Amino acid sequence: MMEQALANLEVFAATLLELAREDSGLLVVTSDSRGSAKLAPFAKAAPGQIVEVGIAEQNLVGVAAGLAAAGKKVFAVSPACFLTARSFEQIKNDLCYSNRPVNAVGISAGVSYGALGTTHHSLHDYAALRAVHNITIVAPADNFETREAVRAAAQLPKPVYLRFGKKKMPHLPRVDSAFELGKASLIREGAHLSFLACGETVAPAFSAAELLAKEGIQCRILSLHTVKPLDQAAVRKAATETGRVITVEEHSVSGGLGEACAGLLLQEGIHARFKIVGFPDDHTVTGSQEEIFRHYGLDGPSLAKAGRELLEKQ
């Protein structure tokens, strides 16, 4: 069993406060989102380093761009669903095209909001932002990756999109404890099958690997925390060495991590049995995040089943 730790969002907020204490030029900009972003302690501890703009996400990103233009290190924080849809044009033009090193932080991402429904889900953000030039997309798997990713993003002189859920995440074991944006983290080694996952789907992929290990099936687990730029070498290596690849993402199957990997392998002529697990092009079923994950096959047992099926496939 994996130990349950904090929500990645809580680690993000704590890391931000550490960074704010180190750098008085660091600012957090919120759109009435400090409570849901777990930033109330930050606001109390560093009141001069938080800027509130109200429920106005376009303005959130535009103001963040201006603050960055004047030399501030900025984290603009808002629910991922609004941040990447309502303010998409501000991200594209004011941050990416104008090259402002703002960290756009999408909180309660994917289906974190569960039964609140489609307005509050962000299953489009990887696809939308992958098509925008000059942005790094990061979805950390656990508390460790979150802390490392936030620190790395703060140093990157370019726009970054960070994506967090609000569920408590387990500490994942990892083969190598180094962390670098753009480099996949090897969570578990295995020769029969690779799970390439990101964000909160790495944990269920790990659970699937544990189930399959009892049957003698050894799985490689890669956390592709940086969805863009993709760690092409790690994807290539996994496909070549294990011959079977399942990608897992809390995102539509259209335009996300899975299609990024498929596009790479197909164009390089690397043949692997391949399956994309994500959300189909349909209304999302009602339920908690856990129930929704199970419904679409993103839980450990479903992923183990997908692994068996891929191994049996001729």
Partner 1 sequence: MTLNLMLTERELKLKSVQYRKALLRLIKACGAGHTGGDLSCLDILNVLYNRIMRVSPETFKSPDRDYYIQSKGHCAEALFVVLADMGFFPESDLETLNRYGSHYIGHPTRDVNGVEQNTGALGHGLAVAVGIALAGKMDRKDYRVFTLLGDGELAEGSNWEAGMTAAHYRLDNLVAIVDRNGLQITGSTEDVCQLSPLDEKFESFGFAVQRCDGNDVGELVRVLESVPFRPGKPSLVLAKTRKGKGVSFMENVAKWHHGVPSDEDFKRAMTELEAAQAAIA
Residue from 66, 170, 287, 297 touching partner 1 (CB under 8 A): that is 66
Torsion of CA 239, 244, 250, 255, to 10 degrees: 60
Q: How many CA atoms lie within 13 A of 235 on its CB side?
A: 30
Per-residue b or e along 38-71, where b marks 16 or more CB atoms closer than 10 Å to that residue's CB: bbeebbeebeebbbebeebbbebbbbbbebbeee
69 near partner 1 (CB under 8 A)? yes
77 near partner 1 (CB under 8 A)? no
Residue from 15, 33, 84, 90 touching partner 1 (CB under 8 A): that is 90
Q: Which residues pair with 107 in a beta bridge?
A: 79
Token output for 263: 């596009």
C-beta of 68 vs 153, nearer to partner 1: 68
C-beta of 8 vs 90, nearer to partner 1: 90
C-beta of 96 vs 272, nearer to partner 1: 96
Site string for partner 1, 185-224 (x = CB under 8 A): ----------------------------------------
Is the omega angle on the peptide bond into residue 101 within 30 degrees of 0, that is, cis? Answer: no
Kindly report the three-state secondary structure assignment for every residue of 79-112: EHHHHCCCCHHHHHHHHHHCCCCEEEEEECCECC
C-beta of 79 vs 199, nearer to partner 1: 79
**DSSP codes of every residue in 281-297:** SSPPPPS-HHHHHHHTT
Residue from 46, 63, 91, 246 touching partner 1 (CB under 8 A): that is 63
59 near partner 1 (CB under 8 A)? yes
Residues 53/66, Cβ–Cβ less than 8 Å: no
C-beta of 49 vs 146, nearer to partner 1: 49
70 near partner 1 (CB under 8 A)? yes
232 near partner 1 (CB under 8 A)? no
Whole-angstrom CA distances from 305 to 57, 193, 261, 302 are 41, 12, 21, 5
Q: Which of residues 24-53 bind partner 1 (CB under 8 A)?
A: 48, 51, 53
| Least distance from partner 1 to the Cβ atom of residue 206, Å | 41
Q: Which residues pair with 103 in a beta bridge?
A: 75, 160
157 near partner 1 (CB under 8 A)? no
Residue from 47, 71, 157, 269 touching partner 1 (CB under 8 A): that is 71
In single-letter form, the type of residue at position 309 comes to E
Question: H or E element: which one contains 28?
Answer: strand 26-30
Residue from 62, 165, 255, 307 touching partner 1 (CB under 8 A): that is 62
Residue from 9, 16, 79, 94 touching partner 1 (CB under 8 A): that is 94
Q: Which stretch binds partner 1 (CB under 8 A): 93-101, 195-203, 265-273, 292-300?
A: 93-101
Q: How far apart are CA 60 and CA 240, in angstroms?
A: 44
Which residues contact partner 1 (rule: CB under 8 A)? Answer: 48, 51, 53-54, 56, 58-59, 61-72, 89-90, 93-94, 97-99
